[in-house]
Amino acid sequence: MTVQLHDKTFELFIPQEEIEKRIDVLSQMIVNDLGDTKPVFISVLNGAFMFTSEIVKRFPYNCEVDFLKISSYVGTTSSGNVNLTTNSIKASLANRNIIILEDIIDTGLTIKSLLNALSKYNPEKIYIATLLFKPEVYKFKNEIDINYIGFNISNEFVVGYGLDYDGLGRNLLDIYKLNQI
């Protein structure tokens, strides 16, 4: 199965059923680790909105959810620049467990910038959960651990389940990879 977005064709990569099963597992891991500590989930927008929704729906205890808009992609390429501001966070983060919810972590530059910014609020602990992880291009292997990983993928451009290609594809329920043919 393929989809056409702008000038690119994408082929089915991870079906919705697999995504949901993996989110069930990740959610249970988060519940087991955090329990009833009233954590703050911080969703990295725009891409993590679907992942965030599914994780939070499965969290049975009180929690807060906040959102940060961060951008580092232009088209299909990571720009290497991270535009980030934490001013929009309304939740009190001091002495709280924070779970950063990311759609995808590749080089790790975005997550490093976010960790540095959030650490200034003196949280109890910061956890990182990502739906997709590209270990072969991740630059912080010995420095930043990713606590919860949905799927390890190769360094391919993907869309769907919140991820986009120039604004299109976020609404797809499956994840698709760029067709290289």
Please state the three-class secondary structure of the chain as a single string: CEEEECCEEEEEEECHHHHHHHHHHHHHHHHHHHCCCCCEEEEEECCCHHHHHHHHHCCCCCCEEEEEECEEEECCEEEEEEECCCCCCCCCCCCCEEEEEEEEECCCHHHHHHHHHHHCCCCCEEEEEEEEECHHHCCCCCCCCCCEEEEECCCCCEEECCECECCECCCCCCEEEECCC
Q: What single-letter amino acid sits at 132?
A: L
Which residues are annotated as catalytic?
Answer: 106
